[in-house]
Amino acid sequence: MLTRVLSMLPPSFMDDVVVTRINAILPQCNLSDLNSFATAVIKWVRRDQLSQQSPSGLCGQLLQKINDCAFQRLQKANDLDLLLEEMKYISGEWFEEMLLEETMSTLQRLVDHVTWTNVIEFSSFLIKTNYLCTPLLDRIAAITLEHIDKIYNSGTYSLLLPFAVLNYDPPQGEKFFEACIGHFSPRIDCFEPHLLVLLGFALAVAEYFPETVIKAIFNVDFLTKLDTQLETLPDALNRRVRLRLMELNRAVCLECPELQIPWFHDRYCQQLQKKSNGSLSSLQQQIHRLLGEILGGSHFAKVSVFTPYCYGIDFECILDKNKKPLPYVDQNIVTADLEKIPHFEWNSMELSSKDAWLEYLKGKIFEKL
């Protein structure tokens, strides 16, 4: 707590005495403590221009000592449960940039310590890191399949989520998903409404649409309960659940028309569109101007287009069968099947002049026709 307070003070308060005292206690700190120290020191570094220019300064030396202590603690770790406890509240750029790779190496070394008693906590940690490590995910799937009867119902969400988010199918992937679905389906009424929506969305991302889950969510009684619960949730979680419900509604309508679930998110999507209809960025304006030069006028291209199910398209232009661009007079023209201009291509070394940009856009427009 003292270090966090010190991090709010001007850099001039940092002196040899402070650094010496912090250095003295670093070896006693767990990873969560070290994360707090690193966050504070990074603030000092950013405030102190001299430290940024001279990594060998007080802050630079202190940050290096913190890094060394963290690496040593990971390398000596031999108890997965204790390690997960230490890392429960770790997050932020220091962890992602300095410790993530070493952490994954340590977890792979301790992978045999994953059991049915800690597999949910282990999976939850992997979700937080958003890091694809297939041996660790394979272990989660194997433990889940072996001990599915010991997993509590809502815990299956945490076990399924990393596979959906990271787009990874483990060995016996279909058997793994079906085992989880079969385990929680008989007790689906026990789920909190918002958690059931998040679970349904995770399954949809993995291309699973169990009818029991879909029918449980898309009925008037459940949606009424959900609306009541959303009023009690924090704003961020409220927005997230509403968005996931819309995305699940869209996925079900497109992928499972036989279930006859109606699309009822038009008004919600219109609200999203209004919020996103701000001023164009300089990059959007630049690309729109260049598209106008290629097509014969800016009215032949449209920016930020939404499909009937609220999929966003950065830019849209429509060509007839003779490859002649059509003007945007009728705003209800069917959306063209165009791919987006990825920023890493647009900002690459190859595209560093107007002529290169024009050729790139011409290729994107005409090469597929």
pLDDT digits (tens, 9 = 90+) for 295-339: 888 888 888 787 878 887 888 888 888 888 888 854 343 333 334
Map residue 87 onto helix, strand or coil.
coil
pLDDT at 10: 66
Phi, psi for 163 (deg, rounded to 5): -70, -35
pLDDT band at 61 (very low <50, low <70, confident <90, very high): confident
Residue 369, pLDDT above cutoff 70:
no
Cα gap 201→292, rounded to integer Å: 39
List the single range of 108-117, 163-172, 323-332 with lowest mean pLDDT: 323-332
Residue 25 near residue 64, CB atoms below 8 Å: no
| Mean pLDDT of the 133-158 span | 94
Residue 350 near residue 356, CB atoms below 8 Å: yes
- Mean pLDDT in the chain? 85
pLDDT at 279: 65
Cα gap 255→200, rounded to integer Å: 14
Between 367 and 223, the higher pLDDT residue: 223
Cα gap 123→96, rounded to integer Å: 17
Residue 181 near residue 210, CB atoms below 8 Å: yes
List the single range of 14-18, 84-88, 103-107, 189-193 with lowest mean pLDDT: 14-18
Alpha carbons within 13 A on the beta-carbon side of 303: 18
| Mean pLDDT of the 288-297 span | 87
pLDDT band at 51 (very low <50, low <70, confident <90, very high): very low
Q: Could you give the angle at the alpha carbon of 192 between the alpha carbons of 189 and 194, nearest 5°?
A: 125
Q: Which two tokens stand for residue 210?
A: 């169990």
Residue 87, pLDDT above cutoff 60:
yes
List the single range of 53-57, 110-114, 227-231, 295-299 with lowest mean pLDDT: 53-57
3-state helix, strand, coil in the chain (%, to 5): 65, 5, 30
Helical spans, DSSP H, in 26-172: 31-47, 49-53, 58-76, 80-86, 93-94, 100-109, 119-129, 134-146, 155-165
pLDDT at 194: 96
| Mean pLDDT of the 76-89 span | 94
List the single range of 109-123, 277-291, 308-322, 343-357 with lowest mean pLDDT: 343-357
Residue 266, pLDDT above cutoff 90:
no
Helical spans, DSSP H, in 117-189: 119-129, 134-146, 155-165, 173-184
pLDDT band at 7 (very low <50, low <70, confident <90, very high): low
| Mean pLDDT of the 268-277 span | 78
Q: Which two tokens stand for residue 356?
A: 């290169």
Residue 233, pLDDT above cutoff 80:
yes
